[in-house]
Structure formats: structure tokens, C-alpha cells
Amino acid sequence: MELRLLGKTGLRVSELCLGTMTFGRDAGEETAFRIMDEFEASGGNFFDTADVYNQGRSEEILGKWLSNRNREDYIVATKVRFATSDKPNSVGLTRKHIRHSVEGSLRRLKTDYIDILQVHAWDPITDLSETLSALQALVDEGKVLHIGASNFRAWQLMLALSISRENGLSEFVSLQPQYSLLCRATEFELIPLCVHENIAVLPWSPLKGGVLSGKYTVGGEVPDGTRLRSMVSRGIDVPWKGAEDYYSRVLKAVHRIAQSKGVTDAQVSLAWLLNRKGVTSPIIGARSVEQVRENIGSVDVKLTREEMDELDRASSLYVTYPYDEQAERQQMSGRV
């Protein structure tokens, strides 16, 4: 894997980030260690976790693996926001919960600092100024080096940047949004904002929960042993319900290109994302060494301009002003 700069931080991170949400759930400690060994051997140095992943077990497994290595060689990102217990103040982006959450993450990760602390989602209750000042206190103490956001809308991210600049506080250096061939509305406002502000984009669910892996056929039976099968068994609808034609069109384009190149559907889907403007490091997850090895193989897949265009056309969304092509051409030409 190659290294890419993480926004304006100067940090160099691998072009794929290893997400650890499966650790302690789908992958036990031994399997997780082998997954991380494989990722590291391929040049990976960037790991993403969260305080709520499997009740903290994800952080514990990652921390144990890191404890036998030189901490400076790795970039670790974790998150704070969601409930860590059933107590009334164990949730949100309050000063109290942020402080308590970070202390727990540091303990589980067996480290004295977090490279990137990300707010996991918008908090509609807590004043954003309190959140940003609480994060700044952790930066001042050296417990957090950089801060990032996840699942923010563009106006929320810009508001946070404005408050930070007005008050001399640390700014968000990264954004973790959902982004894939099957989730392209991220491109309307978030990607242009991040490109303009040089904010690193770390897409989560780059395979749309495995839908882009080639394991599924729209309208067909959902295979046993898959994540989607477990969701369906719990009464959750398949993701393409109501959008069968769109999903089918995208999956067929991915599969055609994958077959023509002798690679997998997942590798084509990730290669497309790796080549998108503004993307720094897509977050890949894995339940086995074979899965992480397949995903890492995407960095060697070279898509032609024609193949990128075909995937763009297949996955394009119907939009109106101000996101249609005419409005885009007017902006590019400077006309109003």
C-alpha cells in the first residue's frame, strides 16, 4: 500500500484504513490478530475503532496487538458520542461524556494518546462550542493529537470549523462519511467542502455492507452465513428494497468490469473509491484474513478512464438544481 497525507496534519497514513468493528464480534482475538498482521505486512498503518464497538472489546483487542509494537509507527482513530452504558450522562458530546469516554479508550487501547478522536455523530442537544472546547482541553493535555468528525452534514461541519476558527480551537482534520458506489449523495456537499478545506475523507462502508462484494443478487436469495442474512433474519429489509433497478444496474456494471479484469467485485468497488477526488483512506472491515487480503488487493487494480466512467454512469443519482450538470457547468465557467 502507498501512503497518503491525512489532510493538512502532515501525517502519512496507508491508502486503506483497517476498521475494527468486527473485532470481538465476528472475529475473535486470535483471528483479529492475524487480520492486523496481514494488514501491517501489506503496508497498513492506520486503524479505526470506537468506544462502543462491541462494548469496548474492539479497542481492547487493538490495544493488546499494539502493546507489543512501537506506538509511533501507527495511526489510531477512535470515536465518542454514543451511549457507553444505560446511565443518563453516558451519551452525547458533553464535556463530561467526552472526558469519561476518552479515559476509557486510552485504558483499553493501552496508550497514552489517541491520534485522531472523532465525534461519532452530531449531537443536537449539546452546544457545539462546549464540545469543541472539551476536545481542545484533551489536545492541550496531549491525550488527543487531532480531532475529526463522522456522519456530519456539510452545514454542521462548516459550523464546527467556523466556531473553531473564531475561538482559536483545534479544527476537525478528517471526516468519516458513508461513501460508495451505492451511496453517492456524499458528493453533493461534503466532498467539495472537504476538498476546499483540505479535510481528509475516510469513507465507511465502502462496500455498502458487503452488497458490492459480489455475494448478492438483487431479487435473489440472500446467502447463509452473510451479514445481510443475519439482518434479514432479524426482520430488517434488504438494502435494495424499493431501488431494485438502481442496485441491479450498479452491481451488473461492477461485475462486468471485475470479470473482464480477472479480479473480484469488491476489488473493483474499492478501486473506484480509491480514485475518487478527495478520498484519503477508505475504511475496510474483515471477518477473516482472506477478506482483508482480498480488500487490500484493490490497491493494485487499475481502472481505465472508460471503466471509471461506466461505473459513474451506472451509479449516478437523479438530481435537480443545484446539483445537476447544467448548474455544475455554470459554476465551472463562472456564469450565473
The whole-number average pLDDT for the span 265-279 is 98
Q: What pLDDT score was predicted for residue 231?
A: 77
pLDDT classification of 1: cutoffs 50, 70, 90: very high
* Chain segment 203-256, per-residue pLDDT in tens: 999 999 999 999 888 887 788 877 787 778 788 888 888 899 999 999 999 999
Q: Facing residues of 116 across strands?
A: 77, 146
Q: What percent of the chain has pLDDT over 90?
A: 88
Q: Give catalytic residue positions.
A: 53
Q: Architecture of 3-213+266-302 per CATH?
A: Alpha-Beta Barrel (3.20)
Q: What pLDDT score was predicted for residue 334?
A: 59
The residue among 167, 100, 177 whose CA lies nearest residue 127 is: 167
Distance CA 194, CA 203 (A): 12
pLDDT classification of 263: cutoffs 50, 70, 90: very high
Burial class (CB in 10 A: 0-12, 13-18, 19+), 221: exposed
pLDDT classification of 336: cutoffs 50, 70, 90: very low
Decide: 286 and 38 in contact? Cβ < 8 Å. no
pTM of the model: 0.95
H helix runs in 141-282, sequence order: 154-167, 190-197, 227-233, 244-261, 265-274
Distance CA 224, CA 236 (A): 15
- Per DSSP, the three-state class of 171 is coil
Q: What pLDDT score was predicted for residue 227?
A: 75
Report how many helices (DSSP H) and strands (DSSP E) the chain contains, helices first.
Answer: 12, 10
The whole-number average pLDDT for the span 178-200 is 98
* Chain segment 107-148, per-residue pLDDT in tens: 999 999 999 999 999 999 999 999 999 999 999 999 999 999
